[in-house]
Amino acid sequence: QKEVEQNSGPLSVPEGAIASLNCTYSDRGSQSFFWYRQYSGKSPELIMFIYSNGDKEDGRFTAQLNKASQYVSLLIRDSQPSDSATYLCAVQGAGGTSYGKLTFGQGTILTVHP
């Protein structure tokens, strides 16, 4: 079992729709969870983080965390063509030797078509 798994893509949604990206993780001790956006040929850009159960909203983005189910998701409302990118889920451990280490999923390619 992979440590961090993301829903297999690619995911294609029409402009204005809600895009839903999902991620599961295996380490129950994980404490912090991040979503990065990566455009083709570019480096990952941090767009959301969450560490408490529930929802966290930032503009058109909502991150959801359920530690009991070891599940984290990202919703993008009113999707725009500029949202087309690879979305990476990253998990951070409980500190100590895990401090600073991020474990990434394989990424989900999102395409928003006009």
Partner 1 sequence: DAGVTQSPTHLIKTRGQHVTLRCSPISGHKSVSWYQQVLGQGPQFIFQYYEKEERGRGNFPDRFSARQFPNYSSELNVNALLLGDSALYLCASSSYRGRYTEAFFGQGTRLTVV
CB of 71 to partner 1, least distance (A): 18
φ and ψ at residue 70, rounded to 5 degrees = 55, 55
Residue 114 CB burial class (10 angstroms; 0-12, 13-18, ≥19):
exposed
Rounded CA gap, 73 and 95, in Å? 22
Q: Which of 17, 102 has the CB closer to partner 1?
A: 102
Site residues, partner 1 (CB under 8 A) = 4, 31-32, 34, 36, 42-46, 49, 51, 88, 90, 92, 97-107
CB of 14 to partner 1, least distance (A): 25
Strand 11-14 to 108-113 pairing: parallel
Q: Which of 13, 102 has the CB closer to partner 1?
A: 102
Q: Which of 19, 47 has the CB closer to partner 1?
A: 47
Q: Which amino acid is at 90?
A: A
CB of 114 to partner 1, least distance (A): 26
CB of 17 to partner 1, least distance (A): 25
Rounded CA gap, 84 and 79, in Å? 9
